[in-house]
């Protein structure tokens, strides 16, 4: 009961945050799903982490509804008719969002908003449409109070996309996260530059490699939560992660790690995923009775499991006895080559595993470069990123990142903090993004160094809201506490500032 008492006494928690914390505490009193002793040992050692998913998977971790179906036929359960104008479309979405669960209890995917709303926006006076969309974004920020709430735009230019960019700059909101599905053959340079300008000032939208994602998932894919690639009308059953640095601590050398310890931890994480997926499908009520399933907004066969990992850089540097991160992974060819060997081994073993209920993916899980959590500290850099304080120039970072991004269909990304002069020359950034995506980069994010809205590891927070928590005040955004922890423990906001004098032309 002391844990419950601590929650209700915490003055930094809002009422909904208190409610969610108490619900998670209650859920974790159940131990129906049991894992092997080896799994629990690995978890206690910190080698494996369940990302606070809870002991009872009563819904998938990430859900990506088919919003086109909502607009086409409405929703019987919620009494929503197919919308006929912009007000009805916005109203339908706002009602529907409130009934889409996830690991955060908020929807992690709001749909391709420009695609959904463009037919209705074009029927309205632009000023009226902008006012309606402004109220829509304000509703999202104040009601869906979690920065893992995510919307997509693109790849084509649109009036709706332009208005959303304008409002994003004007309103300076951390919610929702936004991604541009970017393809230079489909996305005009003018629209892409508008996205770059907005990204610099608000840390969004990020740029997703549309060709890469469409090749892996088909055209009907979603970018959700931080930067997670998933299938529309589907989602992700579960996302645990290996903490690779901790996994390497038992190994005598790289070969011992690759041949003994890495397979050991991979298999334990696969055991965890299999049991959670089976319980979610076979025991919980979600796929049996939830209206999202019974009315076809999501389909069980379109879900997969996300096999996550963090700390590749620290793992490699430890195995090679490299004490200075500036001389290790990303800066050292031997270290980077070992990182690729480790990723090849993980990819091969996960791909060989037959996963339950992942029908649309040949019963296979897909890899995910997890962004980290607030308690990680400096030993586990997100995914396969180069550690903060060890970053080389942006072009050197990108040349490393481009080798690792193709491993992660369910998401990876890198973040760059730009000096203020880039605000006047966004056209200097677009060729870098184009070149990197053509060479294999999956996802590019950035922001200006003096932004209030900043990208932490994959999600967005306001620096001003972090300061509120430091003063023991409440923050409406659920993830501000994560941002504070990530900054305090891992210096997540202290990444290298990209200077304008660096030569970018070679990366085009």
113: Cβ contacts below 8 Å, ≥ 6 apart: 151, 152, 153, 160, 164
Q: pLDDT tens digits for 121-180?
A: 999 999 999 999 999 999 999 999 999 999 999 999 999 999 999 999 999 999 999 999
Selected residue with higher pLDDT from 182 and 496: 182
Mean pLDDT in residue range 42-69: 96
313: Cβ contacts below 8 Å, ≥ 6 apart: 325, 328, 329, 330, 339, 381, 384, 385, 386, 387, 390
Phi, psi of 97 (to 5 degrees): -55, -35
Which pLDDT band holds residue 505 (cuts at 50, 70, 90)?
A: very low
410: Cβ contacts below 8 Å, ≥ 6 apart: 228, 229, 230, 236, 304, 306, 366, 367, 368
205: Cβ contacts below 8 Å, ≥ 6 apart: 153, 165, 168, 178, 179, 180, 195, 198, 199
Does the pLDDT value for residue 490 go beyond 70? Answer: no
pTM value is 0.94
499: Cβ contacts below 8 Å, ≥ 6 apart: 419
Does the pLDDT value for residue 471 go beyond 50? Answer: yes
CA distance 97 to 104: 13
Which pLDDT band holds residue 506 (cuts at 50, 70, 90)?
A: very low
pLDDT of the residue at 46 = 96
Q: pLDDT tens digits for 315-353?
A: 999 999 999 999 999 999 999 999 999 999 999 999 999
CA distance 508 to 500: 16
What radius of gyration, in Å, describes the C-alpha atoms of the chain?
22
pLDDT of the residue at 127 = 98
pLDDT of the residue at 136 = 98
Mean pLDDT in residue range 435-441: 97
Q: Which residue ranges form the domains of the chain, and what is each CATH number?
A: 1-30 (no CATH), 34-60+234-412 (3.20.70.20), 61-227+414-493 (no CATH)
Q: pLDDT tens digits for 191-213?
A: 999 999 999 999 999 999 999 99
Does the pLDDT value for residue 401 go beyond 50? Answer: yes
pLDDT of the residue at 468 = 81
Which pLDDT band holds residue 1 (cuts at 50, 70, 90)?
A: low
């Amino acid at each position: 009961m002391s844990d419950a008492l601590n929650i209700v006494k915490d003055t930094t928690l809002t009422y909904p945050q208190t409610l969610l914390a108490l619900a998670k505490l209650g859920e974790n009193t159940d131990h129906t799903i049991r894992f092997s002793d080896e799994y629990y040992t690995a978890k206690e050692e910190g080698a494996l982490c369940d990302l606070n998913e809870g002991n009872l998977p009563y819904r998938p971790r990430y859900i990506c509804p088919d919003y086109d179906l909502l607009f086409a036929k409405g929703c019987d359960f919620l009494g929503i008719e197919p919308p006929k104008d912009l007000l009805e479309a916005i109203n339908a979405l706002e009602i529907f969002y409130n009934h889409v669960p996830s690991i955060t209890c908020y929807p992690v995917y709001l749909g391709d908003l420009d695609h959904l709303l463009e037919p209705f926006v074009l029927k309205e006076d632009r000023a009226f449409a902008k006012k309606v969309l402004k109220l829509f974004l304000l509703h999202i920020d104040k009601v869906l109070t979690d920065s893992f709430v995510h919307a997509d735009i693109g790849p084509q230019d649109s009036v709706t996309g332009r208005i959303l960019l304008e409002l994003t700059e004007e309103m300076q909101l951390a919610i929702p996260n936004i991604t541009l599905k970017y393809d230079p053959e489909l996305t005009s340079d003018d629209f892409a530059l508008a996205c770059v300008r907005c990204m610099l000032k608000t840390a969004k939208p990020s740029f997703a490699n549309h060709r890469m994602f469409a090749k892996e998932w088909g055209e009907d894919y979603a970018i959700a939560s931080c930067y997670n690639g998933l299938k529309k009308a589907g989602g992700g059953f579960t996302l645990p992660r290996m903490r690779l640095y901790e996994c390497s601590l038992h190994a005598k050398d790289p070969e011992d790690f690759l041949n003994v310890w890495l397979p050991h931890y991979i298999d334990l994480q696969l055991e965890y995923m299999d049991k959670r997926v089976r319980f979610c499908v076979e025991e919980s009520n979600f796929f049996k009775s939830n209206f999202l399933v019974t009315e076809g907004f999501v389909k069980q066969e379109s879900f997969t499991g996300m096999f996550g990992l963090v700390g590749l850089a620290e793992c490699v540097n430890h195995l090679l006895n490299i004490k200075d991160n500036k001389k290790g992974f990303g800066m050292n060819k031997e270290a980077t080559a070992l990182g690729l060997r480790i990723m090849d081994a993980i990819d091969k073993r996960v791909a060989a595993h037959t996963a339950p209920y992942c029908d649309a993916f040949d019963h296979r899980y897909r890899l995910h470069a997890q962004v980290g959590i607030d308690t990680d500290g400096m030993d586990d850099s997100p995914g396969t990123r180069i550690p903060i304080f060890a970053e080389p120039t942006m072009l050197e970072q990108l040349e490393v990142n481009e080798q690792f991004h193709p491993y992660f269909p369910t998401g990876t990304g890198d973040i760059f903090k730009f000096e203020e002069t880039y605000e006047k020359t966004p056209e200097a950034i677009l060729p870098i993004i184009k070149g990197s995506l053509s060479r294999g980069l999956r996802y590019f994010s950035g922001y200006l160094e003096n932004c209030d809205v900043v990208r932490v590891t994959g999600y967005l927070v306001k620096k001003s809201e972090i300061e509120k928590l430091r003063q023991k005040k409440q923050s409406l955004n659920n993830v501000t506490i994560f941002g504070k922890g990530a900054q305090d423990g891992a210096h997540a906001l202290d990444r290298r500032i990209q200077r304008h004098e660096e030569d970018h032309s070679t990366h085009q």
